Chains A and B, each alone.
Chain A
Amino acid sequence: GAVVSQHPSWVICKSGTSVKIECRSLDFQATTMFWYRQFPKQSLMLMATSNEGSKATYEQGVEKDKFLINHASLTLSTLTVTSAHPEDSSFYICSASLGQDGYTFGSGTRLTVV
């Protein structure tokens, strides 16, 4: 089946640094990808929707300058958390649209900012 590989699985970074999370579609072309985050003991929340070759659409309340999304190819989408702060510590997950076949999901990235 269609697989999205998400890396890294977990990362610890210092406050003020930037962290990049990658999602790769391994055996299909992902025209549309979704990025979510989840704070501890809370539900998953959609951050943004990205379409290959165009700018991402961000949900209300999500800072586009802080969470940079690049979807330059049909097999790779990246989320960069810039100038990370402890409040950005969260679980981030990507999802790729399979069209009529639904969606497939990455395994998630646990980000801890210290």
Chain B
Amino acid sequence: KQEVTQIPAALSVPEGENLVLNCSFTDSAIYNLQWFRQDPGKGLTSLLLIQSSQREQTSGRLNASLDKSSGRSTLYIAASQPGDSATYLCAVRDSNYQLIWGAGTKLIIKP
């Protein structure tokens, strides 16, 4: 059974710092992995989608990597800003085509 774990559960850093969020999964047989953000009172926003054949994806200050063999993905945020404060979720599309979600990392960027 696929399980997705995100560490840390919460993170608070000063503005301007680069940071890394981690996502691990137990079964390497995945179709893809996605990173999302949740803002309070709103739905989730898709950030990056990495197909199983890809190693990384970049969008602006965000870079997500995927290492299927080790069951890990990282989301790198460069030059963090207060607007980056949100909960970040990763989700794996497993071999049964089901979305398995991590519990999220709550990120706070202090001005």
Q: Which residues of A contact B (CB under 8 A)?
A: 9-10, 34, 36, 41-46, 49, 91, 93, 95, 97, 100, 102-103, 105, 107-108, 110
B46 close to A102 (CB less than 8 A): no
Task: Known contacts A10-B97, A103-B44; decide if A44 and B36 are in contact (CB<8 Å).
Answer: yes
Count of chain B residues near A, Cβ 8 A: 23
Chain A min CB distance to B17 (Å): 24
- Number of A-B pairs whose CB atoms are under 8 Å? 48
> Which residue of the partner chain B has the closest CB to A42?
B49
Q: B43: which of A36, A41, A43 is its contact (CB, 8 Å)?
A: A36
Cα distance, A49 to B39, chains bound together (Å)? 14
Cα distance, A100 to B87, chains bound together (Å)? 11
Chain B min CB distance to A50 (Å): 11
Cα distance, A2 to B96, chains bound together (Å)? 23
A93 close to B99 (CB less than 8 A): yes
Judge whether B101 is part of the interface by a CB distance below 8 angstroms: yes
